[in-house]
Amino acid sequence: MNYTVTQMSRLAGVSARTLRYYDKIGLLKPEFINESGYRMYGPKQVDLLQQILFYRELRFSLKEISKMLHVPSFSLIGALTEQHQKLIAEQKRLDLLIATVEKALAAQKGELIMSDQEKFEGFKKQMLDQNEKQYGKEIHEKYGDHIVNQSNDQFAQMSKEDYEATVAIQNELIQNLKQALKLNDPASEPAQKAADLHRQWLFYFWPEGTYTKEAHAGLAQMYVDDSRFTHYYEDHVAEGAAKMLRDAVRIYTSK
């Protein structure tokens, strides 16, 4: 029931160096030293090591862990509570950081495009993308999916090429919607083309495998219900564009 450093290290999944270090700093001493000077560990040490590793996981410093184990009056609850608060604070900071990175990414990607296209358009599109993502989330939550952060990932991983593709699709969509409005028929070929382009476009913004006909139809309905979207489409196409797209998508998704 006695282990040498390497045996003990394999048992717990740490390095032998770690054990020697813990010995040195007085965190975990071996049970006794062999006549050859070898460190020998017993079952008590195994248990202690497990505890140490548990608290290390929780990001306590070795100093704190040492106090926990060696100072009898140590308030474990106090320490855990404090650690909990630290972790929560860290979590909040991380959330902020992630948002900042996403902004930086959007700015970086946007800049590449904006040098070619009109800057105002770029801004508007970016705004729209934001809303679109948000709405995608809401719809999927309604449908029981819990995607939450996933969609931001999706956007962050989008390449410059993908981004340009979405812009191209959007332009084509607008052209087709204009045609459809002239014909005033959501079942017409340009209207159905627009609905299909819209679906393609969504694939860039929604996480893999989350597209459903219902969600697509739901989003199109929101274009009519939500003035932000309605205005965007009215401004870029013509009056009644949001409704036309909704009707086209309804027909498209019912097939």
Binding piece for DNA, criterion CB under 7 A, among 58-66, 73-81, 180-188, 231-239: 58-66
- Quick one: 39 or 193, whose CB is closer to DNA? 39
Residues 180/244, Cβ–Cβ less than 8 Å: yes
Instruction: Compute how many other C-beta atoms are within 10 angstroms of the C-beta atom of residue 132.
Output: 22
- Quick one: 18 or 176, whose CB is closer to DNA? 18
Q: Which residues of 163-196 are buried (b: 16+ CB within 10 A; e: fewer)?
A: beebbebbeebbebbbebbeeebbebebbbbbbb
The entry of a second copy, DNA, none that residue 89 binds, CB within 5 to 8 Å by partner kind: none
The entry of a second copy, DNA, none that residue 36 binds, CB within 5 to 8 Å by partner kind: DNA
Among 17, 92, 160, 231, binds DNA (CB under 7 A): 17
Least distance from DNA to the Cβ atom of residue 49, Å: 11
Q: What are phi and psi of 39, to 5 degrees?
A: -75, 130
What binding mask, one character per residue, do residues 62-81 give for DNA by CB under 7 A, x or -? xx------------------
Secondary-structure percent of the chain, ordered helix, strand, coil, rounded to 5: 75, 0, 25
What binding mask, one character per residue, do residues 19-38 give for DNA by CB under 7 A, x or -? -xx------------xxxxx
